[in-house]
Amino acid sequence: MSEKPISPLRARMLEDMTVGNFVPATQREYIRAVKKLAAFLKRSPDTATADD
């Protein structure tokens, strides 16, 4: 089973949420929200601007 490599943005989010003691359910919801943002922007969320 080959897994997709994790993006630097996602790795940073997971690290920050772990340090912040976020429960797994909250982490899943935050990741889901960022995925939805990426779909809306049609690009990576780390390229988002204040105008977006």
For 14, residues 6+ apart whose C-beta sits below 8 A from its C-beta are 6, 27, 31
Taking every pair of C-alpha atoms in the chain, what is the biggest distance, in angstroms? 40
Average pLDDT, the chain: 91
pLDDT of residue 5: 84
Q: Which tens digits make up the pLDDT trace of 1-19? A: 567 788 898 899 999 999 9
The answer to whether the Cα torsion of 6, 12, 15, 18 is positive or negative is negative
Using alpha carbons only, what angle is made at residue 22 by residues 17 and 39, rounded to the nearest 5 degrees? Answer: 60
Residue 49: both structure tokens together: 């601007």
Number of C-beta neighbours around residue 45 at 10 A: 19
pLDDT of residue 2: 63
Provide the whole-model pTM: 0.76
